[in-house]
Structure 1
Amino acid sequence: MSKDIELTLDGVSSAVAVGSTGFELFQDKKVVAQRINGQLRDLAHLVSQGDVVEAVSIDSADGLSILRHSTAHVLAQAVQKINPDARLGIGPPITDGFYYDFDVDEPFTPELLKVLEKEMERIIRAGQRFVRRIVSDSEAAKELASEPNKLELITLKSSENLAEGSAEVGAGELTIYDNVDPQSGEVVWKDLCRGPHLPNTRMIGNGFSLTRLAAAYWRGNEANKQLQRIYGTAWPSKDELKAHLERLEEAAKRDHRRLGAELDLFSFPEEIGSGLAVFHPKGGVIRRVMEDYSRARHDEAGYEFVYSPHITKSNLFE
């Protein structure tokens, strides 16, 4: 009996040993996950006969999402290490970063972010392994009995109303990711999650930062409890993190709300309404010049102007 299986590896027909995982298939240290038949999987996932397997590099779009999702898990572990009474919400990757929501008695403070970063650094240095484990609904509910938000997600599995919880559960099997100490083999933390994740926390490196705090309603519904949200960003290297933070600083310098106030161009009086601009004389000049230019270009292009009322019957928008 053959000890090999046939599969397609990064577009090339290949024969690999039965029982192979992504760890055996990919030697490049930048590879953090694999795509098997179109589905993202951990490197520890076994490949099978006929699979189409592709490498997922940490600097790819999917690789960055996995990096940021794993960093969100480390953040949550750090929060519960410092505040064991903190209850978990959700922690998905987002554009250029991640966030995690927590149910806590007292709001987080900006000073806490540096404390959490130090604890995250400790967890990262420990090289804890991310280990995927399939569980039944009842098993997950028993293990996460102290996490009411996770219990709610379990009951909503496969529901169209799941929305923000999709990083944790979805259609198909339910999984928990264990953070396993590489020395003792002990599970030191766990979370309900679909994955995939990095092979271990050490691969997060030092290209991460916690950036800001916010309040957020559980599952985005204002009828639900308000949670504390911590935002962060993560990149494959410290240099890439630095470049990202510099871009944010430059963008802040060009923020129209800031420039409008500093240059005395416009303001947003509370008496009028949020987001409704009042142009000051200097801003009025700039606006008039822009409007005149726009009208001239439209005239040159042969457009005709029409005007409609600013106020209409409400049923127009129903």
Structure 2
Amino acid sequence: MNDIDHRVLGNKLDLFHQQEEGPGMVFWHPRGWELYRVLEDYIRARMRRAGFREIRTPQLLARSLWEKSGHWEKFGAAMYSFAAAERVPGEQGDAEQGRALCLKPMSCPCHVQVFNQRVRSYRELPVRYSEFGACHRDEPSGSLEGLKRTRAFVQDDAHVFCTEAHIEAEVGRFCSLLRAVYADLGFPSFKVALATRPAMRAGNDQTWDRAEEALANAARAAGLEFDILEGEGAFYGPKLEFHLTDSRERSWQCGTIQLDFVLPDRLDAEFVNERNERERPVMIHHAVLGSMERFIAMLLEHHEGWLPVWLAPEQVVVATISDANAAYAQEVMQALEDASIRALLDSRPERLEKKIVDAREKQVPIFVAVGSRDERGRTISIRLRDGQQSTLALAEGVGHLRLAVLSPLLRATP
């Protein structure tokens, strides 16, 4: 592994680790979980602004649901399944004994269950759900690779239930969202591919013709140019794949938009149309990042650990020049925390040069030194990663730093 492999960076920056007792699983450390939550909250805010409402669905469900949806036939070998535990006769819940259960490998059938809980009118459509869905897949041990391939992961899943007339607008809406998110994360451009019907699929050719044509037309209306990936679609419908190129010219398939006429039929989703008739909705599957874990691996390697300042686990290190400045350093820390700036205090009895080196080792982008002169003048001395330095009054400096570290989404808010 080289120095910019995300596993090396994860260890160096104290973000996460993995161990034999949890093969394919991730132990997130405080700094890594901070990064995870910042990214999650950013995506959550973006989805909310795009009209999605967040839901939460179970991880453990009866195998019969996955059989009905078709996922058991397609993914059963990679699903964790087992029979419900036996119970002592007479205990409550005997009916569950021996029932086949599965950990969910994806969230789409669960979102259909939420949609199905009441009769829907065409006036309610489109209905948009999002979820950070915890999923499990029994990946072969030889394919596991740090955060890039895990057995437990979280997908930023989203689904739209709509009519065929809504498809173009909904695909366009999501393409605009993807462009904004990827630019904020350091990927100003991407390539797109349209993945068509695979050999093993649900639905007849007429349904697939309709779905592929509708998705291609929506992609063109959204201003996308795309290649064709023959046979690479999902078993229930064609998909648009969004491929990002990192700083080492490697391609990563991340976001997807999948058009699905199959699952709503298999899982009995319906709405009442303007003629007062029951009709199947179209289901559009969305993901911006794909897997949270895999995307964080890509971000770490793309930025070589120097994440954009708004994403950094700690954005500022506040370092004392001497013990005598500890009280003022605490005041500076409080001012930064009040401004929602993620800061770390370094009050160790070390030379300032050592503290600067250690902050760079942690790849914290902003360094603030606090000495006797700063305390007397109620200032802070700011050093940026590129070497730029400035000394500002405390309130002015905190305001300046707040603007520098804000999420792009907040900076864009009037």
Provide the TM-score with structure 2 as the length reference.
Answer: 0.24
Provide the TM-score with structure 1 as the length reference.
Answer: 0.28
